[in-house]
Amino acid sequence: MDSRDICTLSALELTDAYRTGTLSPVEATNAVLDAIDRVNDQLTAFCLVDHEGARASAREALQRYRDGRTLSPLDGVPTSIKDVFLTAGHPTYRGSTLLAEADDGTPPTVDAPVTAATLKAGCVVVGKTTTPEFAWKGVTDSLLLGATTNPYDPSLTPGGSSGGSAAAVAAGLGPLSTGTDAGGSVRIPAAFTGTVALKPTYGVIPMFPSSPFGTLAHAGPMTRTVLDTAAFMDELIRPDSRDWSVVPPSATCPGGEGYLAAALDVGRSDLPLDGVRVAYSRNLGFGVNDPDVEREVDVAVRALTDLGADVDEIELGLSDPVDAFHVLWFAGAAAVVKPLGDGAIDRIDPTLRDALSRYHDFTAQDYLDAVAERMALGVRLGAVHHTYDILVTPTIPIPAFAAGADVPKDWHSPDWTSWTPYTYLFNMTQQPALSVPCGMTDSGLPVGVQLVGARFADRMVVRTGAALETRVAGRVPRPRVHASSQAVT
């Protein structure tokens, strides 16, 4: 198989080929590494590429296939890690020049739970992906590395903060990546890059060290297909005692049936969503959608009906909880910067510095009021799931905009939260939320639809996404900048 064609395969397609002997983990890893070398300069998706380590891991995976002792359904798949997760043997700079300058050359000797689970599954880690400084915003640029760009149009942002992971997956630089999401940071870039991303229920995937953004922060898989997301979830939910808030796998997989089994189940029926109750909210009561985005999400909702779901369009009439979110968010951001010293504030991302000048000096009462609003929002949205299994919204109400900017040109607000109204509130409520690519704007940019479930109904969300994908996957073409291109421009 041509090395460029290898980069079009999903993770499960790769491992099917490994098992039949038509392809090996070494060939796949070499193809991905070559593609990164060829394409990454246009995207800045990777901040570190481990050619030697990846090839050694691929050789080990090849031997496991020969011996018939593979570690998981994803053994040997080229995978990347967002540069916020500790990775033994490699530095973790989190997009910060301050952390890079403070590096004494001694890399970590421990892996974060997500990294450890990825390695235990036999995945081949090819490198680490870019993030804005401290993963603080909904786009991906930093003083350390500059701007990460969108494979559909390199003048545009891929979103963030897991923008490097999304750009890598979209461009064929490995079918799997890991991300974090404390306000939309896997779902935002998934929507902008035509990829799939799941923010699971809080505590389903263990986190260590704990995020400065506290219980807003989730880890999640980033892939090109819902089936790959499901397979990756089965590996990432391995328990880890370093996260005291983690829940057991049985919380979302009762009876031991995993995510991949639930996703594959949709192929057994012409109406796989028969009996699934879906609520469609165009704007949650406070968002405003680009017409192209709303049109494409409408198509996805009609597809859910065609798949057998009972769909009602509802008016939730929520008020925007952004003020409460800002208290929780920027209290965490300030906690990141303060230990770095008195001069740190002058050397961080200027837009973070500006935001902290506007959102600071919160009192204990401010924080408690924000928590109370968060709890009330959880009650309100929890009640929706008494009637409906799935809540559908656009993932993001607008298409991607210029790289290097926190907000679109001439936007009404400097805050990234002003254009992400449908993501951060589900971090506040801790519900599972999946972004699935569902169509394209007239200007050729991807649109994502968001599927939200009740807390711990993660498998239902993934199963619904897998069914939807069978109807809408063909509506999102491969991006212009892609490893399979014969001439990347």
Active-site residue set: 82, 161, 185
Q: How many helices (H) and strands (E) does the chain have?
A: 16, 13
Q: What is the 3-state secondary structure (H, E, C) of 366-404?
A: HHHHHHHHHHHHHHHHHHHHHHCCEEEEECCCCCCCECC
Residue 431 is encoded by which pair of tokens? 């519900």
Q: What is the 3-state secondary structure (H, E, C) of 57-114?
A: HHHHHHHHHHHCCCCCCCCCCEEEEECCCCECCECCCCCCHHHHHHCCCCCCCCCCHH
Q: How far apart are CA 401 and CA 57, in angstroms?
A: 38
Nearest residue to 158 (alpha-carbon basis) of 132, 125, 126, 128: 132
The alpha-helical segments, DSSP class H, found in 259-412 are: 259-264, 291-306, 322-337, 350-358, 364-387
Q: How far apart are CA 270 and CA 272, in angstroms?
A: 6
Pairing of strands 176-181, 390-394: unpaired
- Strand, helix or coil for residue 53: helix
Q: Are 198 and 220 in contact (CB under 8 A)?
A: yes
- Identify each DSSP E strand in 243-318 by its residue range: 277-280, 310-313
User: Cα 28–207–375 angle (5° rounding)?
Assistant: 130
Q: How far apart are CA 129 and CA 118, in angstroms?
A: 15
Q: Are 127 and 50 in contact (CB under 8 A)?
A: yes
Residue type, 30: N
